[in-house]
Amino acid sequence: MRLAESPSTVDSAGEDGSRPGNSSGTRRLPTRLALGAGKLLLSGGLIGYLLYRHGLSHERLASIDLTLGAAALAVFVLQVALATLRWRILLAHIGGTRPPFRRLFRVYYASAFFSQVLPSIGGDLARISYARMLGTTAGPIVVSVLIDRGVGIAALLFLALASLGFLAPFDPGHTVLRSIAVVAGGGLVAAYGGCLIARVMRYSRIWRALPSWIRTFIASCDWSLTSRVGLACLMPLYALGHLMSITAIFFAAHAVQVPLTLATVLAIGPVIVLAQVLPVSVGGWGVREAAAVTLLAMTGIDAASALLVSITFGILVLLATSPGVLFWLMLRNRG
């Protein structure tokens, strides 16, 4: 399936007013600041409450196993490389451009850092700001970033469904299991149902009346989720990236002497990663810890240990993405 619009058509959508321009962006600035402040308060409030309620074992955190910590850092770096490859595939399809992998890796690494330290969509905006450097325009970059997020969540929902077999022994009443099944299953039904509706809409007047960039976005979603490239390449790559995060949780737990089994991590890992990637907090902080404390309690891990694992994981993510500052400076000087 080919896109109905060319890259230049996507970018020109803003010229006829079909996409918000600078003036509307200025008007929305107070709203964005309020949303960013809300996410910051949510992260800080949840972390503060959990620390007050359960405490933190500074001794175990200070005596972290450096070998396992380094293994987790290596996993995160490989994860960025894999994410860069996925993004390159999306850009090639949406914008018809294949930026050099090294340059794209630097941009993605810088955006990964900003995603950890800024509220709202700082990391996504960082990627969009380098459109000219990547040999394309803002339109294809915006669409690719949105698709990158959406397909990543879809792959995570598939993993959440696959994890139910590991979760079942820890949830005899199947209360949590049913909730995850409904959320993950419902999300996937909505995603693939939307693809079917979009295919029907292409033969209607409604489709022709939509702005060109919206048509391109919908067509790209359909391609990413249903094409042979999407199902046989993109989805497995996204699933592998999430499995890397779950592996890093396993390393982080054992680095601070919390003996999580592989079955335990596979049971609760997808939901913890989902809590982290949802754009409702700063870098997943607070929401991730709350999910870890709740889910690990089902497996017999005390709340203080669960909180320690999640905070250790978050610290390792921050350390792993910190070189993004250097990449950002390099790209800025080049620009």
Q: What is the tens place of the pLDDT at every residue in 213-262?
A: 899 999 999 999 999 999 999 999 999 999 999 999 999 999 999 989 99
DSSP 16: G
Is 20 a domain residue?
A: no
Q: What is the pTM of this model?
A: 0.87
pLDDT in tens, 79-131: 999 999 999 999 999 988 889 999 999 999 999 999 988 866 778 888 988 88
Is 320 a domain residue?
A: yes
Is residue 323 a contact partner of residue 109, using CB atoms and an 8 Å limit?
yes
pLDDT band at residue 27 under the 50/70/90 scheme: low
Is 226 a domain residue?
A: yes
Is 174 a domain residue?
A: yes
Is 134 a domain residue?
A: yes
Is 9 a domain residue?
A: no
Q: Which of 91, 77, 79, 87 is nearest to 240 (CA)?
A: 79
Distance CA 284, CA 277 (A): 6
Full domain range(s) for residue 97: 40-334
Is 188 a domain residue?
A: yes
Q: Calculate mean pLDDT across residues 21-27.
A: 49
pLDDT of 61: 86
Is residue 95 a contact partner of residue 140, using CB atoms and an 8 Å limit?
yes
Distance CA 219, CA 146 (A): 13
Is 171 a domain residue?
A: yes
pLDDT band at residue 20 under the 50/70/90 scheme: very low
Number of domains in the chain: 1
Is residue 89 a contact partner of residue 235, using CB atoms and an 8 Å limit?
no
